[in-house]
Amino acid sequence: MAEQKEQHRRKKQDNQDPSPPAPSGVGNLGLWRWILAFLLIWAVTSVFQRMMARRAERVPVSYTVFKQQVRTGNVERVTLQGPEIRGEFESPYHPPAPEQADTERTKEGFGRFRTTRPPVEDPDLIPLLEEKGVGIEAKAVKQQEWIGMLLLMLPWLLLIGYFVYAGRKMRRQMGGGGAGGGPAGLFNIGQSKARRVQKSMCRDRYDDVAGNENAKRDLREIVDYLKDPGKFTALGAHIPKGVLLTGPPGTGKTLLARATAGEAEVPFFSISGSEFIEMFVGVGASRVRNMFKQAKDSAPAIIFIDEIDSIGRSRGTGLGGGHDEREQTLNQILSEMDGFEPHESVVVISATNRPDVLDPALTRPGRFDRRIVLEPPAREAREKILGIHAREVPLAEEVDLSNVAARTVGFSGADLRNLVNEAALMAGRRERKQVTTEDFEDARDKLMLGARREETLEEEEKRRIAWHESGHALLAELLEHTDPLEKVTIIPRGRALGVTEQSPEIERHQYVKDYLLDRICSALGGRAAEEVVFGDTSNGAASDLDQVTRIARHMVCRWGMSKKIGPMTLGGEQSNVFLGREITQQKEYSEETAKRVDDEVRRIVSEMEERAVDLLRRNRARLDALAQTLLEEETVPRSRIRQLLEETPPEGDHA
């Protein structure tokens, strides 16, 4: 019987709308709007009625009738205000029928009147009034009464309008509904902002995620548990409470979480870590409680918290207080994940690209039992990802996605998706019906190097750039342990005036000393070529110097590739206080050792520069031939470079 009730409850929840309906009834903000509108209408109506009533008490008479009444002594007093004259009769005045309708009010007579003076000044009026003993009162000209009332009410109207605007804005920011119904956002602020996706709407599957086979294998166990928990509980196994997905941006962490929900066919609650925090204290913890309550009511379910490092950083290491709003939110997450019962099939999947800053209490077993690392895809995976994103893109027969994958080492899944889209945009701008290899090449160059700059360089500057890039390209071909050369160009792209492109043949995870030394030598080829040809150097080698200095320092301080320093690690990775690390770090070596490190770095860079200069002097004819070809063609591919090297003999042997 209990099982039938549980099935009925779950079936009812599955049929519900993906997002819980807002409570019915008019919220406090809407009620105040109705009250303010009623008061405003009542005030305007009352003022209008008073004005009309006051005007109705005075009978309008012509200026001639007014002077006649003065001459007969029937005017007691008058008030002069601009062109208008108001006054009171001694005895009720009964206007003749043509001037006033025959009503009860006409029969009773009027005790007060109003009239308007003619534009031409009447010099006899004041003497006549004084002669008849009429009381005279003069007033300054004032604005019309309705204008005065409007100016009086304008500040209140502006204040009311501001509160209405601020209320609407706060409601939108805090997740409230429209103005017609539902509670105001201020009173709904503690509700979870997690977006619920029903199992019928989770269309992503593991087939849509190319690569990351190890990650998918680990997550499939969770899917199997959510589908058939009895198979595991019979063996005494418990479902992992949390899975932490880590890896560089764009490697598919969010897509993998959605695919897990789609495979398991369970409700999926998605929220970003920053959405827990508001300006009010306690809101984050309240939203955590509300989100976990919704997930437990919908169990089995998956909660996905993206960018959890925004709320899960190590406690007590920031510059703020030790018990801020972020820490309250983190404490509530820890409490909720500890409170899961074995029968509550709720799995928390979180994603971050900074696992090193997370609080140890969050990543311990029992909360996030599994940590899955996602890396940029390998060559085969890149080819599959390109195929997935190119399903709807018409490709020319010449396009070889395997070749494109080989030349996109280090690209993430998001980068590859962007590459396909940029190639399609390139083809559209060129009025093509299909995407060609040229479109992929240009799209790749745009993503890696920047957009092409349409500018004209001075001839002398262009010559220096040509020899600079030729120095890089020539050493890349002459040295044994460098990555294969793809092309060299002097077309400005992004911030670079010229580029020498090399693509590794294999996915490198380890670097030997000879490879690193040849890489430093090749990077110094541009500076060495300028020195050989022009006798001086320019600032065009600034980025090259940054690169070689970093590699040489890593060789000495981290990789133990210096005999004088030995197999030691000196210094650690620099961390930032705002990422949950200490403000200061101790220096673990002496000043003498620091000087020896600097000397070794300088020695490595200087030796490789001398080697580069020597190689280029021995191959000066090849250097000049390649530079002249660059000046003529601007872009020279690998095949053309090798042809030039074969046709142009060196001036001496090279080592």
Domain coordinates of the chain in residue numbers? 61-142, 195-373, 379-449, 459-572+587-647
pLDDT (tens digit per residue) in 307-352: 888 888 887 655 444 446 677 788 888 888 876 565 567 888 998 8
Whether 575 has a pLDDT exceeding 80, the answer reads no
Whether 227 has a pLDDT exceeding 70, the answer reads yes
Task: For residue 21, give the 3-state DSSP assignment.
Answer: coil
pLDDT value for 52: 58
Per-residue b or e along 552-571, where b marks 16 or more CB atoms closer than 10 Å to that residue's CB: bbebbbeeebbeebeeeebe
DSSP string, 523-545: HTHHHHHHHHHHSS--GGGHHHH
251 annotated to bind ligand: yes
Q: What is the mean pLDDT of residues 172-184?
A: 45
Helices 620-633, 525-534: inter-axial angle, 10-degree rounding: 100
Q: Taking a C-beta distance cutoff of 8 angstroms, is the pair 401, 386 a contact?
A: yes
468 annotated to bind ligand: yes
d(CA 334, CA 275): 17
Q: Which residue has the tokens 């396909």?
A: 420
State which of 264-273, 442-451, 625-634 shows the largest mean pLDDT.
625-634
352 annotated to bind ligand: no
Neighbours of 504 (CB within 10 A): 13
Q: What is the mean pLDDT of residues 218-232?
A: 83
Whether 281 has a pLDDT exceeding 60, the answer reads no
pLDDT (tens digit per residue) in 417-474: 999 999 999 999 999 999 999 899 889 988 888 888 777 778 888 999 999 999 999 9
User: So what CATH class is 61-142?
Assistant: alpha beta
pLDDT value for 16: 42
Going by pLDDT thresholds of 50, 70 and 90, the confidence category of residue 45 is low
Q: How far separated are the first and last CA of the chain, in Å rounded?
A: 86
Whether 116 has a pLDDT exceeding 90, the answer reads no
135 annotated to bind ligand: no
Q: Letter for the amino acid at 163?
A: F
Neighbours of 468 (CB within 10 A): 29
Whether 294 has a pLDDT exceeding 50, the answer reads yes
Greater pLDDT, 571 or 57: 571
d(CA 620, CA 328): 68
248 annotated to bind ligand: yes
State which of 128-132, 249-253, 293-297, 516-520 shows the largest mean pLDDT.
516-520
Name the CATH architecture for the domain at 195-373. Answer: 3-Layer(aba) Sandwich (3.40)
pLDDT value for 568: 86
133 annotated to bind ligand: no
pLDDT value for 199: 61
Q: What is the mean pLDDT of residues 616-622?
A: 92
pLDDT value for 579: 41
Greater pLDDT, 340 or 508: 508
Token pair in block for residue 194: 């997690």
Token pair in block for residue 449: 């190097």
d(CA 415, CA 421): 10
343 annotated to bind ligand: no
Closest CA to 352 of 362, 361, 344: 362
pLDDT value for 331: 80
Q: Taking a C-beta distance cutoff of 8 angstroms, is the pair 13, 296 a contact?
A: no
Whether 73 has a pLDDT exceeding 60, the answer reads yes
83 annotated to bind ligand: no
**Average pLDDT, whole number, for the chain?**
78
Q: What is the mean pLDDT of residues 65-78?
A: 87
Name the CATH architecture for the domain at 459-572+587-647. Answer: Up-down Bundle (1.20)
Q: What is the mean pLDDT of residues 180-189?
A: 44
Q: What is the mean pLDDT of residues 380-404?
A: 90
Name the CATH architecture for the domain at 379-449. Answer: Orthogonal Bundle (1.10)
Catalytic residues: 469
Q: What is the mean pLDDT of residues 584-595?
A: 74
544 annotated to bind ligand: yes
Q: Taking a C-beta distance cutoff of 8 angstroms, is the pair 487, 441 a contact?
A: no
Q: What is the mean pLDDT of residues 622-626?
A: 92
What does residue 384 show for φ and ψ, rounded to 5 degrees?
-65, -40
Q: Taking a C-beta distance cutoff of 8 angstroms, is the pair 469, 526 a contact?
A: yes
Per-residue b or e along 19-56, where b marks 16 or more CB atoms closer than 10 Å to that residue's CB: eeebeeeebebbeebeeeeeeeeeeeeebeeeeeeeee
Closest CA to 196 of 20, 10, 347, 24: 20
- Edge-to-edge strand ranges of the sheet holding 195-197: 195-197, 268-272, 301-306, 346-352, 242-246, 370-373
